[in-house]
Amino acid sequence: MAEAIDLNTSAGRKRARNELVWGDHGFLRARFRNLHQISPEMWRANQPSPEQIARYAAELGLKTILNLRGTSDKGYYLLEREACERHGIALVDFQVFSRDSPTRETVLGARDLFKSIAYPALMHCKSGADRAGVMAALYMHFRQGQPIEEAKKQLSFDYLHIRYGKTGILDYFFETYLREGQPAGLEFADWVATAYDRDIVKARFKKTSAQKMNIDGVLRRE
């Protein structure tokens, strides 16, 4: 078991920095932040470095950062937490997954979360594409009042989200509501609370994905 990182020591700080830059691929994010403003009060991005957090604090006036990766003992998280404390930004950890249909608790918890945090705010995952995408869609629906048809556009290649793969289950989740819940007259939150069956959605998506893979194989597409 690896020894815990101590940011109060030079060795610990160096190790944390190495984990951020190399272990977590921070070198790829040095110039590309995947930063987008999606409303007057909310931004989305990839994993920020301490230097980027300082810039966001100064330029955007952030009061909250939503970390969609969950807590961690890795250097990237420890440095982010330290930077938020230094700049007076509340760090809220709210774990979301990119290759699984969201749980009922996650969706309704996100609705409540968007009511309680201080704005302006920024949400991020590692790449800013998938987990940030599904949460941005939920934010645009619950906080900004966009219909799901519009809100789900936050899951777009414009933000580097790719629906033709395992992360496509996030698109399939919203599309299931549009195909089944909306025609039944259910509001999105009501559908999630009363009719959404996560296991069925996952099973259907898996079957649909397998069929697509078979078609691609016949057509010799990669």
* Segment among 23-37, 106-120, 170-184 with least mean pLDDT: 23-37
Domains of the chain, residue spans? 10-196
Q: What is the pLDDT of residues 52-76, one digit of tens each?
A: 999 999 999 999 999 999 999 999 9
CA neighbor of 3 nearest in space, from 21, 19, 25:
19
Please provide the CATH number assigned to the domain covering 10-196: 3.90.190.10
**Alpha-carbon distances of 119 from 58, 64, 104, 152, 174, rounded to whole Å:** 14, 6, 25, 22, 26
The per-residue pLDDT for 28 is 87
pLDDT higher than threshold 90 for residue 216 = no
Cis peptide before 120 (omega within 30 of 0): yes
Render 65-108 in DSSP notation, one character per residue: EEETT---SSHHHHHHHHHHHHTT-EEEE----SSSPPPHHHHH
Q: Which two tokens stand for residue 23?
A: 């272990």
What's the whole-number mean pLDDT along residues 10-27? 93
For residue 181, pLDDT beyond 60: yes
| pLDDT given at position 210 | 65
In this predicted structure, the answer to whether residue 220 has a pLDDT above a threshold of 50 is no
Sign of CA dihedral 42, 123, 121, 149: positive
Mean pLDDT of the chain: 93
CB atoms within 10 A of CB 159: 21
Cα 143 to chain center, whole Å? 16
